[in-house]
Amino acid sequence: MRFPWLPKRERFDGRAVSNELLQRLVGRRLNSIQFTKFYVQFWFDGDEGTIETVTFHCGCFPRVLLGDVTLTESDPTYAGALLACLDEEVISADAEEATGITVAWPSGTIRLRPTAEEAGGYEIAVLDVPSAGFVVWNSEDFPFQNLD
């Protein structure tokens, strides 16, 4: 059902929007990680000369890649692997349909590519870059539209 007072949602090139905002993470220092029972949130330095922060909220726990080793949130070393990235600058960030969202630091990489069951129809991730905008990803949006 469509409500006439709500603006029509325009379709956009999800790949372009996703990667444009994700590229704004490159060079930013990871300064905080918030763990909860249900999600993890990453806080990055904002633009120079401002007090704003950039946040990346993962509604599903990302995998941590350390070379050939992949860690999930149930691994006892998961939190430590993420904490090793604190105070490091992002060296790459992108979104691809086959791999989901990937963010890399010198000490490790996170990959957010949940299964359809893990996504559960909720927001998979939110990236908020105050100087550039924000993007919300769910299972209908690139790069998550074809989850297994």
Give the pLDDT confidence of 85-128 residue by residue, as tens digits: 999 999 999 999 889 999 999 999 999 999 888 887 678 999 99
pTM (global) more than 0.85:
yes
pLDDT tens per residue, range 30-52? 999 999 998 999 999 988 888 88
Q: Within a domain: residue 51? A: yes
Whole-number percent of the chain with pLDDT over 70? 88
In this prediction, residue 2 carries a pLDDT of 42
Q: Within a domain: residue 123? A: no
pLDDT category at 18 given cuts 50, 70, 90 is confident
Q: Within a domain: residue 60? A: yes
Q: Within a domain: residue 125? A: no
In this prediction, residue 122 carries a pLDDT of 76
Q: Count CA atoms within 13 Å of residue 43 on its CB side.
A: 8
Residues 70-83, mean pLDDT to the nearest whole number: 96
Whole-number percent of the chain with pLDDT over 90? 59
Tell me if residue 90 falls in helix, strand or coil: strand
In this prediction, residue 121 carries a pLDDT of 66
Q: Within a domain: residue 49? A: yes
Mean pLDDT of the chain: 87
DSSP 27-75: TPBEEEEEE-SS-EEEEEE-STT---EEEEEESSPPEEEETTEEE-TTS
Give which of 43, 17, 1 is closest to 136, Cα–Cα.
17
Q: Which two structure tokens, joined as six digits, stand for 30? A: 């990871």
Q: Within a domain: residue 26? A: yes
Q: Within a domain: residue 74? A: yes
CB 109 within 8 A of CB 101: no
Tell me if residue 102 falls in helix, strand or coil: strand
Q: Within a domain: residue 134? A: no
Dihedral angle over CA of 17, 18, 24, 30, nearest 10? 160
Total domains present in the chain: 1
User: Whole domain around residue 70: which residue ranges?
Assistant: 14-114
Of the two residues 10 and 4, the one the predictor is more confident about is 4
